[in-house]
Structure 1
Amino acid sequence: MFGFGMYTTLGSFSKFRHSVVRDVLAVTAASVLMDIFSAITVWSIIGYLIHKSGIPAFEAAYAGGGTLSYGTLPQAFSMMSQPMLWSSLFSLTMFLLSISTFIVFIHVLVELLSTAFRRWCQKRWLLVLVVCILGFLFSLVYCSSVGYSWLTFVDNFAALFTPLVVCGLEVVIFVYLYGAGYLARDMEMLSNSFVSYYCYFTWIATVPLFLLLVLKKHVFSLIRVSEYFGFEGGAYFFAISSTLAIPVYSLFYVFRNDCCKKLKWKATPWGPKKPSDRAAWERFCNEHPVRRSLVHRRF
């Protein structure tokens, strides 16, 4: 979710000084608990399907036509005592999950477009309408005869490369270029709480290594799938098509005429935009100097 910009966009509406650490712990705890609850629920239903049908465990996830949400689980619900009730509750759950995710995705995209093209996006309701219509039209391809293949490829590859790349760039920029020490000091200023050394360890070592391993896994999976279907070049380009928007927009921003003129000026220093917030931040930075770029406190 971080790679899709959801938390970043929603977090931009928070107050400047608030408990960042509390928000991180709350969101992480809610996500972990939901994952555990979902895993227990899904595997309990699959276990019930195995018990009733007698199929092997390794075939249970593909027993309903190859899809878990719309194949295996509905088949298990049909074997229960109240199949209509459980199927209705499952459909309601999927609808609520889908509509909430859809709303946040649209919100992120609208905020991105309205910020990048402020001159041409004056009417917000019109921008939302255009984004929804275009999204609906592009999604019609998934209703065609090859829609399931496209959906599987997009879900497994194209929708995973960009978030991993974005998260990797965020780690490199904020942790290594800006500095984990400066980042921790900013978090302490915002939340008025101590940032533990565990955060340094995760920022510097754990998160980059985890992202690298996951990206490596998806790259090898893409290579195997593309070699099997025989469309290596097209598969690679399609998988990284959304990622290409990052260097394309960067080049557009750097080489457009207005920005070329601004490059001759002095760059705006990093910090809060509001004058009162900037003054408070600069005062906090002077009182808490960073001793190291990666760790600003002595062990």
Structure 2
Amino acid sequence: MDDSRTIEQRLDRIESQNEQIIKALAQKKKSLAAAFNLEDENKERGNWSGRFDFFLSCLGYAVGLGNVWRFPYLCYKNGGGAFFIPYVIMLFFVGLPIFFMELSLGQFSSCGPLTCWKFAPLFQGVGVGMVAVSAMVAIYYNMIIGWSLYYLFASFTSKLPWDECDPEWSTPMCLDYVAIVAGRVACHVEGWIPYDNGTCYNVNGTLKAIYDQPLAKQFDIKRNLPSEEYFERSVIGSAFSNGLGDLGPMRWRIVLCYLLAFIMVVLALSKSIKSSGKVVYFTATFPYVVLVILFIRGLLLEGYKDGIHFYITPDLSKLSDSVIWKDAAVQIFFSLSASWGGLIALASYNRFHNDCLRDAISVALGNCLTSVFAGFVIFSYLGNLSHELGVPIDEVAKSGPSLAFIVYPYAVTKLPAAPFWAIIFFLMLITLGVDSQFVLVETVTTALMDRFVKMRDYKLLTVMILCVIFFLLGLTLTTNGGIYMLEVMDTYSGGWNIMFIAICECVSICYIYGISRFLKDIETMIGVTACGFCPFFICKYWWALCWCILTPAGVLFIMIFSWVKYTDIEGEAFPDWADALGWLMTLTVIVAVIIGAFVAVCMAEGSGIEKLKNACKPSIEWGPALVKHRTLVAKYVPGFVVDPWGKGEMDMSPDDVNLQEATNSSNWHLKPRASSSRV
């Protein structure tokens, strides 16, 4: 009897060891599959070739032009290094939670932003709003890439065209034509006539010098950088437009560059998600190479210390100002491209068991560190430019296109071999822009192909037609007044509507679908251990707290504060109807959410309040795309339909069955046996 019990115990130990070995092999199989997949798990829809394709695509999507031209300016504006504190706090409380939520939603459902709302049909309009935002942003974002292409081509010369004032496009206010002199006496010495506005004119009435810059500035008299007049008069032609009501003719060179930018998108997305997944190996990594090169060169310039000191010196008193917290939240929110639908679209091509939490944390931190490092690079050159021009840094510290196409190009002209530095800088801008643009267009394409499945067989044609439509809609941006239209689109297409979408996401998942079930869905995908070391049953409480309370509260704070501080677009270039046009873009998204909810209620079964309740329940098709993964969900969701399409076990190979049993069944045995009868 003792011998049989001993044998029984030994068999149990052997079987337990074998089970652990099989689980380890299964886990190793998953890891190898994630990195070196040769076959698609979802053959109907397709998958990334490997997890690095997805990671780099997310990184390229999140790290865009705003990291280079907006974040450094916000640091300067909000107390230098003090801005890092609210920035990091908002990253963990607002940005990262939404980022992880969207990756999880897309990966679990294998659906794009238009069709992933089967878990709560009442919110299906949110997906329409996401696609609308991505479409609007794709139209004007590509114009910035077009400008970068123009500058890239113009840099292939022995002398940069904006190096000095050119009579072909410059004005008498150009830097080279107006000197800076020391006082009124110097004007008399040169034979010029000093005026009380701080300027000196010759006898012909031509401005020749400024003897008091602060005084002249009060009269709106200042010298223009050659790069400023080149951009406004030779490139985009904004100097020849009175504003949005006077667009003027299209500029054919800009039209061609705009078209070329869309051709690049078509080529990258021509075949499948795999084609863009390979392109991002270059477009997502090249900007880092350029930033490092530019940073090393910047450290060799005179005045670089002043620029970096200006960038990082903290003014902790700013932390008591609510503006710094609002700016940090907005920058985190938009730099991660959350709630645009792109993250859901990218994650929908993941394999089911990909560790999306690891990817979310890696991309979010990478995006944050990139912004900080870009600030060091930019301000090293601004310090040099301040030194060269003899003006304070705050006069050259700009944001947006002014930094990318005016200030920095002029700073480059002061370097030896200036064309080389200009070429790599604009190559960096192009690569920063195109990988974000790839995802914007892919988001709309994925949404259409999920809604109209037959379009998957015509991916190239779909992308081409979509880009042609975007190109035609964006031709107004190529006119003399196109930059004013771009500013309206940039201000309103991704403002309150994006924050409204984010709140809808949190509410629908936490309070309609159920936070407990959503967390269980995530655990089913990534396993009991997240990021390779952290037990998910511990960290899931943090995510639940963020999604249910902290994140929506943070987004609501941004919305309310932005509303209180709201002002119309200022300037004579913007007529009254400019704001009306912008609000139309914003309301398009909000109205889409409302209409989507109305349609869902009308199509739901029952009558009266029953319709509303049924519109809040997951549809029968909600869940993973493959039957083998839906069986895992059925274990913790009573009544869950494993095979609503009648596929049977067609997507489960013998290896899949073994993998599922080894990793998910606590009662799995090498062979069927009854322990009480074994001797």
Q: Is the 8 A contact 2:489 2:582 kept in 1?
A: no
Shift of 1:51: 2.5
**1:173 corresponds to which of 493, 508, 512:** 508
Match of 2:545 in 1: 201
Q: Deviations over 1:15-64 (max 9, x none)?
A: 1122222122222222222222222222332222222223233321349x
> For residues 125 and 248 of structure 1, what CA distance do their matches in structure 2 show?
31
**2:576 corresponds to which of 230, 233, 250:** 230
Shift of 1:82: 3.1
Match of 2:627 in 1: 275
Higher normalized contact order (CA 8 Å, seq sep 6+, divided by chain length): 2
Q: Is the 8 A contact 2:493 2:586 kept in 1?
A: yes
Shift of 1:208: 1.1
Secondary structure, in 3 states, of the residue corresponding to 1:179?
A: helix
Matched residue type, 1:230? D
Distance 1:221 1:46, change over 3 A: farther
**1:137 corresponds to which of 472, 487, 493:** 472
Q: Deviations over 1:142-186 (max 9, x none)?
A: 111221111112112223333322222111111232232222222
Normalization by structure 1: what TM-score?
A: 0.81
Q: Deviations over 1:55-99 (max 9, x none)?
A: 233321349x97121111111112223321211111100111122
**1:211 corresponds to which of 525, 542, 555:** 555
Match of 2:328 in 1: none
Secondary structure, in 3 states, of the residue corresponding to 1:237?
A: helix
Q: Is the 8 A contact 1:3 1:162 kept in 2?
A: no
Matched residue type, 2:425? F
> For residues 122 and 219 of structure 1, what CA distance do their matches in structure 2 show?
45
Structure 1 runs not aligned, ≥5 long: 287-299
Match of 1:295 in 2: none
Q: Is the 8 A contact 1:9 1:108 kept in 2?
A: yes
**1:89 corresponds to which of 397, 410, 424:** 424
Q: Is the 8 A contact 2:386 2:392 kept in 1?
A: yes
**2:394 corresponds to which of 42, 54, 58:** 58
**2:360 corresponds to which of 24, 44, 48:** 24
Secondary structure, in 3 states, of the residue corresponding to 1:47?
A: helix
Percent identity, please: 20
Matched residue type, 1:84? P
Matched residue type, 1:104? V
Shift of 1:110: 0.5
Secondary structure, in 3 states, of the residue corresponding to 2:623?
A: coil
Match of 1:185 in 2: 520
Q: Is the 8 A contact 1:226 1:235 kept in 2?
A: no
Higher gyration radius (CA) = 2
Distance 1:102 1:83, change over 3 A: same
Q: Is the 8 A contact 1:157 1:218 kept in 2?
A: no
> For residues 339 and 453 of structure 2, what CA distance do their matches in structure 1 show?
23
- Range that drifts further, 107-116 or 48-57: 48-57
Matched residue type, 1:275? V
- Range that drifts further, 189-198 or 119-128: 119-128
Secondary structure, in 3 states, of the residue corresponding to 1:30?
A: helix
> For residues 200 and 221 of structure 1, what CA distance do their matches in structure 2 show?
31
Note if 1:11 corresponds to 2:347.
yes
Distance 1:97 1:157, change over 3 A: same
Matched residue type, 1:13? Y
Secondary structure, in 3 states, of the residue corresponding to 1:206?
A: helix
Matched residue type, 2:576? G
> For residues 413 and 475 of structure 2, what CA distance do their matches in structure 1 show?
29
Q: Is the 8 A contact 1:61 1:68 kept in 2?
A: yes
> For residues 78 and 211 of structure 1, what CA distance do their matches in structure 2 show?
42
**1:33 corresponds to which of 360, 369, 374:** 369
Distance 1:141 1:217, change over 3 A: farther
Match of 1:246 in 2: 593
Note if 1:111 corresponds to 2:446.
yes
Matched residue type, 1:277? H
Matched residue type, 2:501? V
Distance 1:185 1:277, change over 3 A: same
Matched residue type, 1:137? L
Q: Is the 8 A contact 1:161 1:239 kept in 2?
A: yes
Secondary structure, in 3 states, of the residue corresponding to 1:61?
A: coil
Secondary structure, in 3 states, of the residue corresponding to 1:178?
A: helix
Q: Is the 8 A contact 2:492 2:582 kept in 1?
A: no
Shift of 1:254: 6.2
Structure 2 runs not aligned, ≥5 long: 1-336, 530-535, 639-679
Note if 1:49 corresponds to 2:401.
no
Decide which structure has greater helix share. Answer: 1
Distance 1:244 1:119, change over 3 A: farther
Shift of 1:226: 7.1
